[in-house]
Amino acid sequence: MNDTITRWANQSVTIFHATSAWDSNGNPVLSTGTAHPAIVQRTIKMVKGRDGKEKVANCQIIMASTYAVGYDDKITLPTGEQPPIIAIESPVDFNGVVEYYRVWT
């Protein structure tokens, strides 16, 4: 699945991973951003956030499983926007290995 996603990914997103440190405002300290190939689709969908509440997502980002992403990370879209991450899906195959990441923002 990784090969298929990477082959069809015609856009790039930059991921700033959250470190284990926190700043004086209680926000996670972010690492240097790295660009990753992704499929970015503008779509509106109701998804459940990590707090269990339903929220409206405006964009889905599909990335190969080699590019892990977490809720405290920041993603910069090709347009330069940094929307909050609402939900992350990581389906697994029959061996328990993550096939890809779908991030809703």
Q: Is the CATH code 2.40.10 the one for domain 2-104?
A: yes
User: Which pLDDT value is given to residue 23?
Assistant: 82
Q: Domain extents for the chain?
A: 2-104
User: Which pLDDT value is given to residue 27?
Assistant: 80
Nearest to 28 by CA among 66, 105, 85: 85
pLDDT in tens, 55-70: 999 999 999 888 889 9
> What stretches in the chain show pLDDT beneath 50?
none
List all residues 6 or more positions away from 55 whose beta carbon is below 8 Å from its beta carbon: 46, 47, 48, 49, 86, 87
